[in-house]
Amino acid sequence: MEAIYLIGFMGSGKTTVSRELARRLNVAVYDTDEEIIKMKGKSINEIFAADGEAKFRLLESDVLRSIPSNDAVIATGGGIVGLEENRLYLKNKVNVVYLHAELENILERLKDDDSRPLLRKDKLQSAEVLYSKRLPLYRGAAGIEIGTSGKPITRIVDDIIQRMKK
Ligand SMILES: Nc1ncnc2c1ncn2[C@@H]1O[C@H](COP(=O)(O)OP(=O)(O)OP(=O)(O)O)[C@@H](O)[C@H]1O
Ligand SMILES: O=C(O)C1=C[C@@H](O)[C@@H](O)[C@H](O)C1
Ligand SMILES: [Mg+2]
């Protein structure tokens, strides 16, 4: 099976959906954020604070390329589409799924979660700017778009399985 790459904004459900989707398809699951956390032995907040976002992006790009592109579901970080080299890498993959959620839903999902350095409470205005900037990048990189607002995880997984190419 060609790997399924999940892309989308923070809180769109990539990590949550990837686990259930991999379980259903009986394949391995990877998460670029988790791989980076394991590699560095630090949280994303700590990596951003100590090394800066640019360094994190380089690591993320390396990690994306190190993950097998067969028999796997891959949850990516919300900012993976920031670098052109990653957009081009994903463009060549068959199953790139953009999980779409309205910003309003995202902020509600993440209101008690402070693990994302680019979505701090004092930065909500910039979240809107980032969301608008990223939207066309996700849509440009993905061959499949799945709406997630108001949908339970099992339904999102069903929708992906129905639309994936083998
Ligand atoms: N369809 C959904 N309905 C309701 N809550 C959801 C849905 N999808 C995800 N969530 C919740 O939103 C939160 C964030 O989800 P998750 O960590 O999977 O997002 P993510 O896309 O991996 O974000 P990031 O880019 O920051 O890694 C979790 O608490 C999760 O339970
Ligand atoms: O959207 C983003 O830029 C990010 C999303 C998360 O998955 C993490 O990769 C990190 O918090 C940055
Ligand atoms: Mg995630």
- CA of residue 19 to ligand 1 center, whole Å: 11
CA distance 30 to 113: 21
For position 123, what pLDDT does the model report? 67
Q: Which of 33, 130, 135 to mutate to test the pocket of ligand 2 (most atoms within 8 A of CB)?
A: 33
- Residue pair 142/7 in contact (Cβ under 8 Å)? The answer is yes
For position 119, what pLDDT does the model report? 87
- CA of residue 44 to ligand 3 center, whole Å: 11
Please give the single-letter amino acid code of residue 84: E
For position 137, what pLDDT does the model report? 98
ipTM surpasses 0.90: yes
| DSSP one-letter string for 17-86 | HHHHHHHHHT-EEEEHHHHHHHHHTS-HHHHHHHH-HHHHHHHHHHHHHHS-SBSEEEEPPTTGGGSHHH
For position 165, what pLDDT does the model report? 84
Pocket of ligand 2 (CB under 6 A): 10, 33, 44, 77-79, 116-118
- Which residue lies with its CA nearest to atom 14 of ligand 1? 11
For the entire predicted model, the pTM comes to 0.97
Q: At what angle do helices 124-141 and 84-91 cross, to 10 degrees?
A: 40
- Residue pair 75/29 in contact (Cβ under 8 Å)? The answer is yes
With 0-12 / 13-18 / 19 or more C-beta atoms within 10 angstroms meaning exposed / middle / buried, residue 146 is: buried
User: Mind listing the pLDDT tens digit for each residue in 4-14?
Assistant: 999 999 999 99
Residue-level length of the chain = 166
Helix (H) or strand (E) holding 145: strand 144-147
Q: Which two tokens stand for residue 101?
A: 């959620």
For position 157, what pLDDT does the model report? 98
Q: Write down all domains in the chain, each with its CATH number in brackets.
A: 4-163 (3.40.50.300)
For position 75, what pLDDT does the model report? 98
SS3 7: strand
For position 47, what pLDDT does the model report? 97
For position 61, what pLDDT does the model report? 98
Which residues of the chain fall below pLDDT 50?
none
The residues near 24 (Cβ < 8 Å, ≥ 6 apart) are: 157, 161
